[in-house]
Amino acid sequence: MGMTMTQKILAAHAGLPEVRAGQLIEADLDLVLGNDITTPVAIHEMKKMDNPSVFHKDKIALVMDHFIPNKDIKSAQNCKCCREFALRHEITNYFDVGEMGIEHALLPEKGLTVPGDAIIGADSHTCTYGALGAFSTGVGSTDMAAGMATGRAWFKVPSAIQFVLTGKPRGWVCGKDIILHIIGRIGVDGALYKSMEFVGDGVSHLSMDDRFTICNMAIEAGGKNGIFPVDETTMQYLEAHATREFTVYKADEDAEYDEVYTIDLSELKPTVSFPHLPENTRTVDEAGGIRIDQSVIGSCTNGRIGDMRAAAAVMKGRKVAKGVRCIVIPATQAIYLQAMREGLLETFIEAGAVVSTPTCGPCLGGYMGILAEGERCISTTNRNFVGRMGHVDSEIYLASPAVAAASAVLGKISSPAELGL
């Protein structure tokens, strides 16, 4: 029996001719990632080791992004801990204020993630890099510590679910709508510890930003990772960003999948996830015009330049509704600069939105947009759990940048079509 893309990558990094679902392996790592929340815990664990040094200063990335710029003394202390560790071990890829960005947008942009890589990160949305044909998955801080010290990690080889994407998305449908539709269909545990592998002719109609978004939210279906095949779109992105050689892996024709889902992208509509789970999805025209208090456009899921362009296209020449707070967060400094050069930031500000420096911000209830009791927010982030963005009696509705922008303008959950777009 053949192997899936993920299984081939894991086999290669374990030095094995083949692996099977459920097999325990130890694999070499190409990159170990941590942020300002998870890295201090890993550093503390490393201090317990006999020889607490890093395996390779170029293969560790520490990104200060969750509470940056520091919002309080505790977050400042966390960043100081990371900064001193990076200096002590001469970590090449340390990103702080001024050159920072949200980690899962920043690392591909910097060329630190390429096809065929095996990557772990002490952040659940590390699965983002599967968009480039890499195996990437989130781990705990203890596993991060072991990875930084040894350059290796233990895995149970995942089985896989294949998603055959056909057709071309219509209207304002984008990657966010596709992954919300999938999660709504299979549930938040529908892919538990499985690889979500996306194939089909529909893939060619998806931008890299779409693919990053889809893989980013694989974890919201319980997935171990998400992964796309490497195609012309991928190669064009890599030509602009990759800084090292890479290996492209393809699934065998006789690879085994637990389930196969076929999704016609041309039939999908803009989709919204209602509180308090990502699986609680409805199309935007079923949302019933629910009034909102805040709209957030950004995050590791939807803070890329394509997301900024989509939101600006909706908000151009329009005003944010009275009583609504609209917060736009470009995911990296480069995206911020590009948005500025294209006049997108001007569009947001003239519409009555605020534009933040790159940060995870309100996504995890950090800062830059915490919700009060009873408030509703439509957000391009990835989770809408109880209390995720503030008060336990607030509500979060997940949507695409275009829907979040239209909702900000109309003051209620809305489709761009309601603005005549």
H helix runs in 195-242, sequence order: 208-216, 232-241
Residues 353-361 have a mean pLDDT of 95
Q: What are the residue boundaries of the structural domains of the chain, listed by start?
A: 5-263, 272-419
Question: Could you say which of 3.40.50.300, 3.40.80.10, 3.30.499.10, 3.20.20.210 is the CATH number of the domain covering 272-419?
Answer: 3.30.499.10
Pairing of strands 271-273, 281-283: antiparallel
Residue 51 scores a pLDDT above 80? no
Residue 77 scores a pLDDT above 90? yes
Equal fold, 5-263 vs 272-419: yes
The per-residue pLDDT for 52 is 80
User: What are the pLDDT digits (tens) for 282-312?
Assistant: 999 888 789 999 999 999 999 999 999 999 9
DSSP state letter for 164: E
Contact (Cβ atoms closer than 8 angstroms) between residue 242 and residue 111: yes
Percent of the chain beyond pLDDT 70?
100
User: What are the pLDDT digits (tens) for 323-342?
Assistant: 999 999 999 999 999 999 99
Which of 262, 263, 174 minimizes the C-alpha distance to 214? 174
Q: What is the mean pLDDT of the chain?
A: 95
Find residue 7's DSSP bridge partners: none
- 71 CB-contact burial (10 Å; exposed 0-12 / middle 13-18 / buried 19+): middle
Quote the pTM value.
Answer: 0.95
Residue 100 scores a pLDDT above 90? no
- For domain 5-263, the CATH superfamily is Aconitase, domain 3 (3.30.499.10)
The per-residue pLDDT for 288 is 74
User: What are the pLDDT digits (tens) for 131-189?
Assistant: 999 999 999 999 999 999 999 999 999 999 999 999 999 999 999 999 999 999 999 99
Residues 344-351 have a mean pLDDT of 98
